[in-house]
Amino acid sequence: MSDSPSRLAMLRFARRIAVQQVEQIDRWIADEERREAEREQGERARPPTPDWIMELGIGVGSQPIEVHVGGCYAAGKRRRAITREQALAALADGMRACIHCRPDTELGILG
């Protein structure tokens, strides 16, 4: 009798390996489905983009420095949402308007 495994034993071994690989793929799929569900939940929970943004300066009691249209790519990280009326008032008081999103044009103020 030979010491080498039989063809049937080798096939069973190959099947066990294949089952392990399928189980690993199933875990990867479940992980990806979980991540996708979390991403979608995050998208739904994200607050809406404000119509107008006031960019704030650096430091304690940061002073407003520029008005932006909501969602402007050029707005800095220090910002707060403002109303249309607040944006109009800030621009009328001489606040700088973003040169990229042109809130003054959006608000109908001729510059």
Is the full-model pTM beyond 0.85?
no
**Reported confidence tier of residue 81, pLDDT bands at 50, 70, 90:** very high
Give the separation between CA 46 and CA 53, rounded to whole angstroms. Answer: 17
Using DSSP bridges, classify how beta strands 79-82 and 52-56 pair: parallel, antiparallel or unpaired.
Answer: antiparallel
Please choose, from the candidates 79, 60, 59, 58, the residue with its C-alpha nearest in 3D space to the C-alpha of residue 68: 79
Q: Give the CA count within 13 Å in the CB-facing half-sphere of 93.
A: 11
The conformation of residue 4, written as its DSSP 8-state character, comes to: S
Give percent above pLDDT 90 in the chain. Answer: 71
Per the CB < 8 A criterion, the answer to whether 36 and 30 are in contact is no
52-56 β-sheet, strand order: 79-82, 52-56, 64-69, 96-97
pLDDT of residue 89 exceeding 90: yes
Q: For position 110, what pLDDT does the model report?
A: 66
